């Protein structure tokens, strides 16, 4: 019963509340009142919504999404990738056979959230023509690689306030003994490597 409640809460946070907050934030960013005082208040309201969205995102991260149980680990990551590429109308490359034998539940959840976060960021910021998601196992370690040929970014810059960002992804991986590494540059695309141990 407790697990069912966690699944339901995760879906409600991510699908319902998260989407509503994103819609409200978009409206607030668009609206302009026409006076400096009201514009400033709208800007503050938008900032507060962004902060709340980040907290909801962070809470949902720790809850197990229903797709992991309904579809399985491999199919869930494939579904995330296919959905993004379909929305963007771009080429999609996948080699996820290594996920057919899923790792321990906590590691699977962390890698799923890493894939979800990375693909969401690609959709928001990268403007790519191609996305590749692969997984490989070597020496009792699993590596999930998410690559795009989009605009890239300054990998040395600090994550923006109110966003999970790369620092948060690194922290989440560290909790399961994993590591995150990033290769990126302006105009050169981005590759994210999430490495986790499979043996204790």
**Digit-coded pLDDT (tens) for 19-42:** 677 777 777 766 766 678 777 878
DSSP 3-state assignment of 196?
A: strand
| pTM score of the predicted model | 0.70
For the CA atoms of the chain, what is the radius of gyration? 18
Closest-CA residue to 177 (of 128, 140, 124, 150): 140
pLDDT, the chain, mean: 82
pLDDT given at position 161: 43
> Where would I find the H helices in the chain?
2-11, 18-30, 36-61, 66-70, 73-88, 105-121, 165-174
């Amino acid at each position: 019963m407790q697990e069912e409640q966690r699944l339901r809460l995760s879906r409600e946070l991510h699908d319902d509340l998260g989407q509503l907050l994103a819609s409200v934030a978009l409206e607030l960013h668009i609206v302009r009142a026409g006076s400096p005082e009201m514009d400033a208040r709208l800007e503050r309201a938008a900032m507060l919504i962004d902060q709340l969205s980040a907290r909801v995102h962070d809470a949902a991260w720790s809850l197990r999404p229903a797709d992991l149980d309904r579809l399985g680990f491999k199919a869930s990551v494939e579904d995330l990738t296919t959905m993004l590429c379909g929305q963007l109308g771009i080429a999609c490359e996948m080699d996820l056979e290594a996920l057919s034998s899923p790792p321990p539940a906590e590691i699977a959840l962390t890698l799923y959230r890493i894939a979800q976060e990375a693909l969401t960021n690609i959709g928001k910021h990268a403007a790519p023509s191609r996305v590749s998601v692969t997984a490989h196992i070597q020496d009792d370690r699993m590596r999930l690689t998410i690559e795009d040929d989009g605009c890239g970014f300054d990998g040395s810059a600090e994550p923006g306030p109110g966003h999970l960002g790369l620092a948060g992804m690194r922290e989440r991986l560290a909790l399961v003994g994993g590591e995150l590494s990033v290769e990126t540059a302006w105009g050169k695309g981005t590759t994210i490597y999430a490495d986790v141990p499979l043996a204790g």
